Structure 1
Amino acid sequence: MSICPAIKSLQPYQGGKPISELQRELGLDKVVKLASNENPLPTSQKVRVAIEQAASEIGRYPDGNGFELKQAISRHLSVSADGITLGNGSNDLLELVARAYVCDACDEVIFSQYAFVVYPLVTQALGAKAVVTPAKDFGHDLEAMLSAITNNSKLIFIANPNNPTGTLLSDDAVYAFLSKVPNTVTVVLDQAYIEYLDADDNAIGWLQEFDNLIITRTFSKAYGLAGLRVGYSICSAKIADYLNRIRQPFNVNHIAQSAAIAVLADKEFIAQSVSKNKQGLMQLAKGFDALGLSYIPSSANFIAIKVSDAMAIYQQLLAQGFIVRPVEMPNYVRISVGTKNENTAFLDTLKSLI
């Protein structure tokens, strides 16, 4: 059997351990998951109603073009629907973009050290060359990324805010970077956590100036639809056309489309998500300060903390019913923001362990 060598050596993406799995393994009644940067709030009531109404139609295929959802996103962001591509989560879009631009082993994909793990995965899966630039203060070094560009460079991935570090590049810095990137190189600005910034959405305006820019976003984080897997990209109509040519038919199911439309209209829910997350970040940071633990200040819905032995702490927390996430940084674990009570229980348990 002939399998592509790049696939043979590929290590599959490992998501956060499911709650049910830990309960089965250790026989625990109560488990708190703080591993996957999910929204800890109850699902939007408008989403629940939309799902109920949509459930009667699950025997039929969804709208393969996602017309209504695209129109809702278009109105929400004041962008043309022609430049929107829907995906089964934003991960789907990241892979679609890579497939569209990476053609052979000579092609280069640039991304930062300590960036989203999907970037190296899709690069290796396509047999392309990964160019990893050293991190700067746990975030992207944009000058280093510019210096890494060659005639073989096809894609640059930038996560802002960054996962797993939570670092944030200023709009001025990203704009200056885009101005210096050759038009032959496509830049993917991954903004999965953009809603938590509660700031002006300047990146959307850049699409009018940079036709080599693709922005990806998701409904899995602040909007609380992680279990339904729906994301989208915004770019020029020309690029969107190419992405839609290779997109799987019906890649976003009917329930997910209906839920996404509903949650976009629920301004109260998103405002509460942002507010509660800010409070949770402050609560965790204050707790880590009290424990004498260093951490990376975060602009997302998680914090990475430094411990003496990350895997040992991870395993000890699992035994106590708390799921966190070891990351590709020496002696760091990533903690997602939970509810106030979950954060308190976690901090109390962490104190007992260290």
Structure 2
Amino acid sequence: MYRLTEKLTNLTPYDPIQGDYKIRLDANESFINTSDDVLARAVKGAALNRYPDPYAKKLIGAYSELYGIDPDLVTAGNGSDELISIIAACFLKKGERVLTLAPDFSMYLFYSNLYELNVRVMKKEENLTVNADKVIETVKKEKIRAVIFSNPCNPTSLGLEKEEVIRIISSVDALVVLDEAYMDFWREEESLIKDTAEYDNLIVLRTCSKALGMAGLRLGFAVSNKAITEKLRAAKSPYNVNSLTQSAAEYMLSDKAEMERRIKACKDALWELDNGICERGFPFFETVYPSVTNFLFIKTSRAKDIFEYLLSESIAVRYMGSFLRITAGSHEENTALMKALLGFKG
């Protein structure tokens, strides 16, 4: 009789919020949708009877041009999730130690466990910041083979300055996987995307799902030195990024002005959301963390009550224990959220 492996016994599918809610502020997506013109060009530019370019050369060229990086150092993936999965499966051996931080993006832990790595979880400071000295000390003491974290962080919305990130990379022998999914919302000078060739142990991950507004395309990139890039490309599936995604994203990424407009619009929306919440001084919000992303992370003992109340108002946010994570939406969405919060009686 066949039996499932032990690692699958308690595995459950990822469970995002389900339901037809009018306002979705739970997944850190952009509120800016893609035009019909882009969709038409994507279909026209994709030969659906043929396999897509396995190396997504035109797409990578457009992405590299947008960010001013060497296309030879870039690997395209079916979302950053695929790239995280490849790294966990192929760059580490079963039982080797990987360090994740807490709180951080849940998929790091998911894929590490799925590929039977020995996971060490290091709690962040009381104020949710990352202590670089403690990370370095833990990597050395625990003989860690890889460390992965997001910067800026999902879900805390906080950023670790570039100098501190470099200190971690330069002080350890471990592979450092730096997920910069939200870097477009912070400052370009904090990013290491242009510096990967200088390090033998660094992979920078980027996504098109947040600031660039392409969550439905499922597209991410890994940027690293030539040696690591060669192996990432060898380890991925041959045709991992489909033709429609390649065609649409290439066209969209080639319009630098539009990409910059989208990023600015999301930044303005965050300012509006943050300012609106802070001005009103909601008594049930204990701490609103200073965000460098497109969402707010808020500590509150009433998190579950507020979450359920907002759902009843057809507004979805992310409930995370004693915290709420709220994506910045359009002006209309932010206004509706403020109105709903003003009506929360508890």
Does the TM-score normalized on the shorter chain lie above 0.5? Answer: yes
Match of 2:265 among 268, 273, 276: 276
TM-superposition CA deviations, 1:96-144 (whole Å, max 9, x none) = 1111222122x11111111000111011101111111111221322222
- Please give the alpha-carbon distance, in whole angstroms, between the structure 2 residues aligned to 1:45 and 1:271: 20
**Other-structure match for 1:338:** 329
**Other-structure match for 1:2:** 3
Q: Are the aligned partners of 2:197 and 2:226 in contact in 1 as well (CA < 8 Å)? A: no
**Other-structure match for 1:92:** 82
Give the gaps of 5 or more residues in structure 1.
24-29
Shift of 1:280: 1.6
Aligned ranges for residues 197-216 of structure 1 at < 5 Å?
197-200=186-189, 202-216=191-205
User: What amino acid sits opposite 2:341 in the alignment?
Assistant: L
- Please give the alpha-carbon distance, in whole angstroms, between the structure 1 residues aligned to 2:187 and 2:144: 33
Shift of 1:195: 1.3
Q: How many residues align?
A: 338
**Other-structure match for 2:226:** 237
Structure 1-normalised TM-score?
A: 0.89
Residue 269 to residue 77, structure 1, CA distance change in 2 (3 Å)? closer
**Other-structure match for 1:321:** 314
Q: Are the aligned partners of 2:27 and 2:327 in contact in 1 as well (CA < 8 Å)? A: yes
**Other-structure match for 1:145:** 135
Q: Are the aligned partners of 2:135 and 2:168 in contact in 1 as well (CA < 8 Å)? A: no
Segment drifting more, 132-141 vs 74-83: 74-83
Segment drifting more, 231-240 vs 200-209: 200-209
Residue 201 to residue 44, structure 1, CA distance change in 2 (3 Å)? farther
Match of 1:58 among 44, 48, 53: 48
User: What amino acid sits opposite 2:305 in the alignment?
Assistant: A
User: What amino acid sits opposite 1:5 in the alignment?
Assistant: E
Shift of 1:158: 1.9
Shift of 1:201: 6.1
Q: Is residue 180 of structure 2 the alignment partner of residue 191 of structure 1?
A: yes
- Please give the alpha-carbon distance, in whole angstroms, between the structure 2 residues aligned to 1:284 and 1:202: 25
- Please give the alpha-carbon distance, in whole angstroms, between the structure 2 residues aligned to 1:299 and 1:281: 9
Q: Are the aligned partners of 1:186 and 1:212 in contact in 2 as well (CA < 8 Å)? A: yes
Secondary structure of 1:178's match?
Answer: helix
Aligned ranges for residues 86-165 of structure 1 at < 5 Å?
86-105=76-95, 107-136=96-125, 137-150=127-140, 152-165=143-156
Residue 248 to residue 210, structure 1, CA distance change in 2 (3 Å)? same
TM-superposition CA deviations, 1:139-191 (whole Å, max 9, x none) = 32222211111464221112111001110011111112212112xx1001101
- Please give the alpha-carbon distance, in whole angstroms, between the structure 2 residues aligned to 1:158 and 1:249: 27
Q: Is residue 243 of structure 2 the alignment partner of residue 247 of structure 1?
A: no
Secondary structure of 1:259's match?
Answer: helix
User: What amino acid sits opposite 2:304 in the alignment?
Assistant: M
Q: Percent identity?
A: 29
Structure 2-normalised TM-score?
A: 0.91
- Please give the alpha-carbon distance, in whole angstroms, between the structure 1 residues aligned to 2:251 and 2:268: 25
Give the gaps of 5 or more residues in structure 2.
none
- Please give the alpha-carbon distance, in whole angstroms, between the structure 2 residues aligned to 1:68 and 1:193: 24
- Please give the alpha-carbon distance, in whole angstroms, between the structure 2 residues aligned to 1:202 and 1:304: 22
Q: Are the aligned partners of 2:212 and 2:263 in contact in 1 as well (CA < 8 Å)? A: no
Q: Are the aligned partners of 1:85 and 1:240 in contact in 2 as well (CA < 8 Å)? A: yes
Aligned ranges for residues 298-309 of structure 1 at < 5 Å?
298-309=291-302
Q: Are the aligned partners of 1:33 and 1:323 in contact in 2 as well (CA < 8 Å)? A: yes
Secondary structure of 1:208's match?
Answer: helix
Q: Are the aligned partners of 2:149 and 2:179 in contact in 1 as well (CA < 8 Å)? A: yes
Q: Are the aligned partners of 2:155 and 2:325 in contact in 1 as well (CA < 8 Å)? A: yes
User: What amino acid sits opposite 1:347 in the alignment?
Assistant: M
Q: Are the aligned partners of 2:79 and 2:218 in contact in 1 as well (CA < 8 Å)? A: yes
Residue 61 to residue 198, structure 1, CA distance change in 2 (3 Å)? same
User: What amino acid sits opposite 2:5 in the alignment?
Assistant: C
- Please give the alpha-carbon distance, in whole angstroms, between the structure 2 residues aligned to 1:216 and 1:245: 17
**Other-structure match for 2:39:** 48
User: What amino acid sits opposite 1:83 in the alignment?
Assistant: L
Shift of 1:205: 3.6
Secondary structure of 1:102's match?
Answer: coil
User: What amino acid sits opposite 2:206 in the alignment?
Assistant: R
Q: Are the aligned partners of 1:113 and 1:133 in contact in 2 as well (CA < 8 Å)? A: yes
- Please give the alpha-carbon distance, in whole angstroms, between the structure 2 residues aligned to 1:256 and 1:59: 15
**Other-structure match for 2:73:** 83
- Please give the alpha-carbon distance, in whole angstroms, between the structure 1 residues aligned to 2:84 and 2:335: 35
